[in-house]
Amino acid sequence: MGKTIAVTDSDFENLVLKATDPVLVDFWATWCRPCQMVAPILEELTQEYSGKLTIAKLDVDQNQQTAQKYRVMSIPTMIIQGWQTVANIAALNLKTS
């Protein structure tokens, strides 16, 4: 069964950039209410896409270097690493409907 993984500035390269499978990175913070609302949906998606997609969470307050590198200006922000084409993010909207 899939589960989200926590990533940090120090392990972002190994866990995300060098991953063999696609990785969706959720840039979030503990105080962010919209981030809290998205979290259960991401947990559900880890089950649905287990073995096909890794979902990683990066706390922007604790890992400012990576957030700045990817120009994260607001949260939640999500990026997908490792796919040749960008997935249809509209699927996240369908889960909340």
Q: Report, as residue numbers or ranges, the catalytic residues.
A: 32, 35
- Could you tell me how far CA 53 lies from the centroid of its own chain? 10
CA distance 36 to 50: 21
Phi, psi of 23 (to 5 degrees): -130, 125
Give the other-Cβ count within 10 Å of 27's Cβ.
23
Helix (H, G, I), strand (E, B) or coil at 58: strand
